[in-house]
């Protein structure tokens, strides 16, 4: 990841840059993995390196397409319910497909977010009144946490002892 981060200047530019850097960090956790390793379950939950990317795409749609743009689920470009389905990766979806889905959702989020000022607010039934600033910061938190999960899973995969075939 290039180190041309924005560390000074307009608040919006700094926040958006940090969000984009966390999006990129999440994608890095699956780059170079085989299709099988990207789907490897190493924890009890549905979390796999690839499902973290799938979940992040859904989070983009939930917050920007559904909440901020006010779209119905049927108008979104993919799954946008708040449940475990956000981690579901279909057998026919490749790593490249899921990364592309996340990148599309992220582009659309950027477009939607650009329509609002950081101080603009909306009422959310779960969170109360939230601003665009809060939403962007919340996404930074979400993606940083999941990139950390992905880093740990990746370390387990990259340093696992070879599997013997009997």
Task: Please state, in angstroms and rounded to a whole number, the distance separating the CA atoms of residues 136 and 62.
Answer: 13
Could you please report the per-residue DSSP string of 17-74?
HHHHHHHHHHHHTTTT--HHHHT---SSSS--HHHHHHHHHHHHIIIIIIIIT---GG
CA distance 56 to 19: 12
149 inside domain: yes
User: What is the count of structural domains for the chain?
Assistant: 1
Confidence bin at 163 (pLDDT 50/70/90): low
Residue 49 lies in a domain: yes
Looking at residue 5, what is its pLDDT? Answer: 80
Which range of residues forms the domain containing residue 55? 11-158
Question: Is residue 48 domain-resident?
Answer: yes
pLDDT digits (tens, 9 = 90+) for 126-150: 999 999 999 999 999 999 999 999 9
CATH at 55: 1.20.120.450
* Mean local confidence (pLDDT), 75-88: 92
How far is residue 8's CA from residue 11's CA, in Å, rounded to a whole number?
Answer: 8
In a domain, 3, yes or no: no
Answer yes or no: are the C-beta atoms of 16 and 10 closer than 8 Å: no
pLDDT of 164 higher than 60: no
pLDDT in tens, 6-56: 788 899 999 999 999 999 999 999 999 999 999 999 999 999 999 999 999
Q: Among residues 153, 156, 150, 158, which one has the least CA distance to residue 22?
A: 150
Asked if residue 163 belongs to a domain, the reply is no
Residue 160 has pLDDT above 90, yes or no: no
**Own/partner pairs, 91-96, CB within 8 angstroms, 24+ separation:** 93/54, 94/35, 95/30, 95/33, 95/35, 95/38, 95/50
2, part of any domain: no
Query: How many CA atoms, within 13 angstroms, populate the side-chain half-sphere of residue 154?
Result: 19
Give residue 3's pLDDT.
67
Q: Is 4 a domain residue?
A: no
Q: Which two tokens stand for residue 160?
A: 């696992």
- Tokens 């390196």 belong to 49
Give domain status of residue 6, yes or no: no
């Amino acid at each position: 990841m290039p180190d041309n981060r924005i560390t000074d200047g307009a608040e919006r530019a700094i926040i958006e840059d940090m969000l984009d850097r966390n999006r990129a960090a999440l994608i890095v956790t699956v780059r170079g993995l085989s299709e099988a390793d990207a789907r490897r379950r190493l924890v009890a939950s549905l979390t796999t390196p690839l499902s973290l990317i799938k979940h992040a795409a859904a989070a983009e749609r939930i917050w920007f397409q559904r909440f901020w743009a006010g779209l119905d689920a049927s108008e979104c470009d993919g799954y946008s319910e708040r449940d475990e389905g956000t981690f579901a990766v279909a057998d026919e979806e490749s790593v490249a497909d899921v990364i592309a889905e996340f990148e599309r959702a992220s582009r659309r989020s950027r477009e939607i977010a650009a329509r609002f000022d950081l101080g603009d607010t909306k009422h959310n039934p779960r969170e109360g009144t939230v601003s665009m600033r809060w939403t962007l910061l919340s996404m930074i938190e979400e993606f940083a946490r999941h990139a950390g999960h992905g880093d740990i899973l990746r370390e387990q995969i990259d340093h696992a002892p070879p599997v013997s075939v009997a």
